[in-house]
Structure 1
Amino acid sequence: MAIPDVDIWDMAVSPENFEQQLQVLKAGYRVLPLKELAERVRRKKLRCNTVAITFDDGYADNYVVAKPLLEKYNLPATFFVTSGNIGTEAEFWWDELEQLFLFTDELPQTISIKIAGTLVEANLGQESILNKELHSLHRQWKAIDEPPVSVRSRLFLQVWQLLKELPPQKQQHQLQTIREWVGTPQSIRSDYRSMSVEQLQELAKNSLFEIGAHTVSHVALGYHPASYQKQELMENRSYLEKKTNRSAATLSYPYGNYNSETMALAADLGFLAAFTTEEKIITNHSSAYQMGRFQVKNLAAPAFESRLKYWSLYC
């Protein structure tokens, strides 16, 4: 929500632009709670120009910035929450990894580390020192759309992909190895923390908002056995429902990663619907456990409205 100094995944939206986006939605679209949208799909009663607003992970800015603006415009939203970080100071591993590789002032010139059976090696050369030009290059880089812009960024992407596939204990073990290579302690930055338990509970008190499941540890579900996937989903939902006294009826797959076992589990566990990161419009023929979503970038009202109209062409 609040724009961080760096946004390589192009996911942050400024409060000013978010408010403009809400104004567009309020004026011209039917904004529904996600649960109602999913139920309408099941009954094949979904109409065009229907929108649901979602947030993933459970960052504190969802509560601090998004909640008041959604309340101001009386618009519903669903917050898919990764429960393992709630009430802790810990950053998500990908945020710390980004800081370590892309923005540490000085790194050792070479690295050789084995991750999940893959040997990762690199010689940073002159990039071991983060000068102004390299810092600026990394700040402007959009990893979601662009190829790596430096040796450091190529190394970051390779390690990010390998770590994404691991269970959380192994992720943290590898991250500690990287911290030791860098020579820095674990990162704790307030701008990257998740909601507190109290913030989560306060969010859930408002009937405008739904709390959805997003696993305990933000695992890429499709890389893991069905038994582990089930544990992550059940423990996450149990925690959320216990803390909020609200049902977690919907699920968002972390990273948008899932497989046929994941979808079967979502159905068996009684989730009403599950959402991917695949950019496809939801229709009355959408699969309940493969529902698409569109990533909204940091767009002011005119550009945002243009994107909405483009997406609506497929309705």
Structure 2
Amino acid sequence: MLKKNFNVLPLWRLEEQLHIGKVKHKSVYITFDDAYTDNYIYAKPILEKYKCPATFFVPSHFIGKEQLFWWDALEAIILHSPNLPDQLTLLIDNKLHDFFLENERLTNEVKEKQEAWRWFNPPPTKRCELFLKIWELLKPISHNMIVDVIDDLQKWAGYSPILTAENYAMTDVQLKDLASNTLFSYGIHTHTHPALASCSAERQFQEIAVNKKVLIEQSYPVINAIAYPYGNYNDVTIKVASQNGMKMGFSTKREVVNLHSMPLSLGRVQVYNTDGLVLKKELTQLFNLE
């Protein structure tokens, strides 16, 4: 659908267009966040079949680690554990937090509500509400602290998430194989994936700088673009991104890019589980083509 109806271009072309002040009409740039292995297994063959360029934003700390991203582990523990205790006390960033769940059992009704839920909508269950509260508390803290909290949660719930390789970050071998096709490029997504606006200027700089250094040292095809984790950034983020040579910065704002867009605070359109016809209609409306 994208190839038939739009101009699917590599992301580095957008940097050129913003620089010269001429954004190509009906152009689409495909991006993936976090470098999940399922991108390699499922997306890569389809992108190659239709010759669609794409950029993968890679958080370098997680490359090759056989473990779930912490937010997936949190989701599995809170939303998928068969039974959870009524009360929970967590030490997060040296502060104690108490939560009360009222022992919401994982019934079929609860499962259906959770499967239909998107995080930006009001939480339909107590479990979803608890997940959001803990997720917000964990986003800005160090990765080592997050690992400790997830470990405490597993012990509290008496539940270990099911581990599947496609939900890990890609391995170095997979990233190198992906990079062997000139259709694909990599962008910056920080080293450990924190919510940058909650971090000091020094930590923000280091998260971006280390990420860029690791990818370049591995000879990956890196472009000067960053996707801010969780779409979270502030004026300091933009400054340190520029200091690290970034020419484009992407948020999660649902906006199309035009000549009035600020290069380091660009919007993106998230694609949900949908089909080509629905997506075509959505993009047509966003591009004001009707």
**TM-score clears 0.5:** yes
| Change beyond 3 A, Cα 1:71–1:122 | same
Match of 1:264 among 223, 239, 244: 239
Residue by residue over 1:163-186, the C-alpha shift from the partner in whole angstroms, topping out at 9 and shown as x without a partner, is 112121221122222122112347
Match of 1:138 among 114, 120, 125: 114
Partner of 1:281: 256
Partner of 2:39: 62
What CA distance in whole angstroms lies between the structure 1 residues aligned with 2:215 and 2:203?
18
Q: Does the Cα contact within 8 Å between 2:227 and 2:249 map onto a contact in 1?
A: yes
Partner secondary structure for residue 248 of structure 1? strand
Alignment of 1:37-56 (within 5 A): 37-56=14-33
Partner of 2:98: 120
1:74 aligns with 2:51: yes
AA in 1 matched with 2:21: K
Q: Unpaired runs of 5+ in structure 1?
A: 1-23
Tell me how far 1:190 sits from its aligned partner.
2.5
Partner secondary structure for residue 226 of structure 2? strand
What CA distance in whole angstroms lies between the structure 2 residues aligned with 1:65 and 1:298?
14
Q: Does the Cα contact within 8 Å between 2:76 and 2:161 map onto a contact in 1?
A: no
Tell me how far 1:142 sits from its aligned partner.
2.2
Q: Does the Cα contact within 8 Å between 1:204 and 1:244 map onto a contact in 2?
A: no
What CA distance in whole angstroms lies between the structure 2 residues aligned with 1:107 and 1:236?
37
What CA distance in whole angstroms lies between the structure 2 residues aligned with 1:68 and 1:192?
17
Q: Does the Cα contact within 8 Å between 2:231 and 2:251 map onto a contact in 1?
A: yes
| Change beyond 3 A, Cα 1:113–1:314 | farther
Q: Does the Cα contact within 8 Å between 1:277 and 1:292 map onto a contact in 2?
A: yes
Tell me how far 1:119 sits from its aligned partner.
2.4
Q: Unpaired runs of 5+ in structure 2?
A: none
Query: TM-score when scaled to structure 1?
Result: 0.87
Tell me how far 1:257 sits from its aligned partner.
0.4
Residue by residue over 1:101-135, the C-alpha shift from the partner in whole angstroms, topping out at 9 and shown as x without a partner, is 1110121222233434362320423x1x3222222
What CA distance in whole angstroms lies between the structure 2 residues aligned with 1:205 and 1:84?
22
1:303 aligns with 2:278: yes
| Change beyond 3 A, Cα 1:44–1:223 | same
AA in 2 matched with 1:113: L
Q: Which structure is richer in relative contact order (CA contacts within 8 A, separation 6 or more)?
A: 1
What CA distance in whole angstroms lies between the structure 1 residues aligned with 2:129 and 2:173?
39
Partner of 1:253: 228
Q: How many residues align?
A: 289
| Change beyond 3 A, Cα 1:140–1:94 | same
AA in 1 matched with 2:78: F
- The CA RMSD measured in Å over matched residues stands at 1.8
Query: TM-score when scaled to structure 2?
Result: 0.94
Give aligned-pair identity as a percent: 35
Tell me how far 1:233 sits from its aligned partner.
0.7
What CA distance in whole angstroms lies between the structure 1 residues aligned with 2:130 and 2:159?
18
Q: Does the Cα contact within 8 Å between 2:186 and 2:220 map onto a contact in 1?
A: no
Q: Does the Cα contact within 8 Å between 1:256 and 1:277 map onto a contact in 2?
A: yes
Partner secondary structure for residue 47 of structure 2? helix
